[in-house]
Amino acid sequence: MIKLSNGHEFEYIAASGTLGYNGKGWPHEWSLRWMGLIDPSLFTIVAKTVTFEPRKGNFKLWCPWRCIRLLPGGVINAVGLTNKGVRWWCEEVGVSVDSEKISLAGSILSNNICELAEMAQMLNDFDLVAVELNWSCPNNGTDLASNTANIIAGCEKVKEVSRFSLIAKLSVVHNIREIVPRIKGVVEAISINSVPWNVIFPNPDNDPEKESPLAHLGGGGVSGKIAQGHTWQLVKELADITSIPVIGPSIWEYGDIEAVRKKGAQAVSFGSVFLQHPCRPTRFVKRDMKENRNRN
Ligand SMILES: Cc1cc2nc3c(=O)[nH]c(=O)nc-3n(C[C@H](O)[C@H](O)[C@H](O)COP(=O)(O)O)c2cc1C
């Protein structure tokens, strides 16, 4: 369980990109929500990331598989932050967020710190439970590994202007030993993004067999069970070096919840499992809550 300084407590996250911009799910998920097979009330939901300006990215509604592919035990995506921008989000989504009904965290991304701070200020008007700073999108053309100074400065700047508790979303390629000590006392939790394809499947000889199916879009990010070796290693390393609570990703089977807790995660997040097995997160959370109750 993670308790934020605003009093909001959470144990289960629906990761950014899973339940849309408002936490009620993407249109293809609505029927499952109506049937109770996806129950947003069980999760703290991170809204889909928005950028300062609208961004075309790679996603096309009529052809989602262009940039999202299902793999055995996971997903690879190169959505590239397709979104209508923060102003659209504020006008169309933010105004109807009600934390009594849904626990929604905003998610913003910019490598320009002034822009990021402006976005964070815009979110202050809404009834969110937290704000996640997405420093780790593998598909936006940034060299993630060399972004250390920007991440530290960006978190500090947003902390100055935001009224919300902050979550920093990091990547396995980040230099956590430099970043994490500097964001202690600034962010209140750390989450973990998908893993760049070439980190999981290095291909020094440029073997076409080992190429990402989304190589034409930069390679993409891998998530789900097949990313656990990397994402859970990061959970463990973070838990070893910091007291900032870590949110454990890549839950695929029920037993993964306990397994990632053992690595040091204080909450768990459901990401690409929503794409392949949309009913699992709700089923797993209900079972985990019940088994925890029985244990206590
Ligand atoms: C189709 C798709 C879209 C995503 N969009 C976002 C996004 O907008 N912002 C973000 O921070 N993460 C995004 N993610 C990453 C997930 O939130 C999550 O961090 C990632 O899938 C790793 O978790 P997992 O192994 O549990 O799936 C997206 C993932 C997928 C598969």
Q: How does pLDDT run across 48-61, given as a tens digit for each residue?
A: 999 999 999 999 98
pLDDT at residue 247 tops 70: yes
CATH number of the CATH domain containing 261: 3.20.20.70
What's the pLDDT at 296? 66
Q: Could you tell which of 169, 223, 252, 257 is best to mutate to test the pocket of ligand 1, judged by most ligand atoms within 8 Å of the CB?
A: 223
Which tens digit of pLDDT belongs to each residue from 254-276?
A: 999 999 999 999 999 999 999 99
Residue 271 Cα to ligand 1 middle (Å): 6
Q: Is the CB of 222 under 6 A from ligand 1?
A: no
**What 8-state DSSP symbol labels residue 24?**
S
pLDDT at residue 116 tops 80: yes
Q: Going by CA atoms, what residue is nearest to atom 25 of ligand 1?
A: 250
Q: Is the CB of 94 under 6 A from ligand 1?
A: no
Average pLDDT, the chain: 95
Domain range enclosing 40:
2-295
Q: Provide the 10 A C-beta neighbour count for residue 59.
A: 18
| pLDDT confidence tier of residue 162, bands split at 50, 70 and 90 | very high
Torsion 65-67-275-116 (CA) sign: negative
Q: Are 137 and 130 in contact (CB under 8 A)?
A: no
Residue 17 Cα to ligand 1 middle (Å): 5
What pTM, to 2 d.p., does this model score? 0.97
Q: Going by CA atoms, what residue is nearest to atom 23 of ligand 1?
A: 271
**When comparing pLDDT for 139 and 188, which is higher?**
188
When pLDDT is averaged across residues 269-290 and rounded to a whole number, the result is: 97
Q: Going by CA atoms, what residue is nearest to atom 1 of ligand 1?
A: 77
How many percent of the chain have pLDDT more than 90? 89
Structure tokens at 154: 């960006």
What's the pLDDT at 143? 85
Q: Which residues pair with 130 in a beta bridge?
A: 105
Q: Are 270 and 29 in contact (CB under 8 A)?
A: no
What's the number of domains the chain is made of?
1
